[in-house]
Structure formats: C-alpha cells, structure tokens
C-alpha cells in the first residue's frame, strides 16, 4: 500500500495478485493407498509428541464421543482377550 493511502480504498495493485502454482512436476501421494486401507500412521503433534492414528468406520465413530471413550472400550476388549488366552 502506498503511503497516505486509505486502507479501504482499492487500487489495481490490490486485485488479488497471487502467484500461480506449477504442478507439472507434482507426484502422487505415495501414502494414499495405505491411508485408504486404514493403516495406522504416526503424526508429529504441535507439542512434539508422535501419535499413532487409525481411521474408524463411520458407524463406529458415530458411537463414541471422544478418543478416551474409544480407548476405554478397546482396553477393556484387550483385557478380556488376554484373560481368555491365559
């Protein structure tokens, strides 16, 4: 913006001058197939902690209110499974 110019006044210079992107050398996402299969993957959180994620089917995800509730049910199932094996 030019000095002494009202910020609300539009000029030709302010017409959404965004750079164009060149996708000629783009490559397909090499992890797309794994994601589609629902494979667990890790991401690095903003807090620097690696977390594993799995994709839930919609009907399963609709049943739970939070990650904690999913984890609680899975831990119970793991505990029951390990007791049966013993």
54 closest CA partner among 73, 68, 34, 69: 34
The C-alpha atoms of residue 23 and residue 27 are separated, in whole angstroms, by 9
Low-confidence ranges of the chain (pLDDT < 50): none
Give me the pLDDT at residue 46, please: 87
DSSP class of residue 7? T
What's the whole-model pTM score? 0.46
CB 45 within 8 A of CB 51: yes
The C-alpha atoms of residue 31 and residue 54 are separated, in whole angstroms, by 14
Give me the pLDDT at residue 3, please: 58
CB 78 within 8 A of CB 70: no
Spans of all domains in the chain: 27-85
Give me the pLDDT at residue 44, please: 82
Give me the pLDDT at residue 33, please: 76
């Amino acid at each position: 913006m030019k000095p002494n110019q009202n910020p609300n006044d539009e000029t030709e210079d302010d017409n959404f001058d965004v750079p164009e992107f060149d996708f000629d050398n783009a490559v397909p996402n090499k992890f797309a197939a794994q994601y589609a299969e629902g494979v667990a993957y890790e991401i690095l959180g903003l807090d620097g902690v690696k977390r594993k994620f799995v994709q839930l089917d919609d009907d399963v995800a609709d049943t739970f209110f939070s990650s904690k509730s999913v984890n609680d049910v899975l831990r119970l199932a793991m505990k029951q499974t390990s007791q049966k094996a013993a």
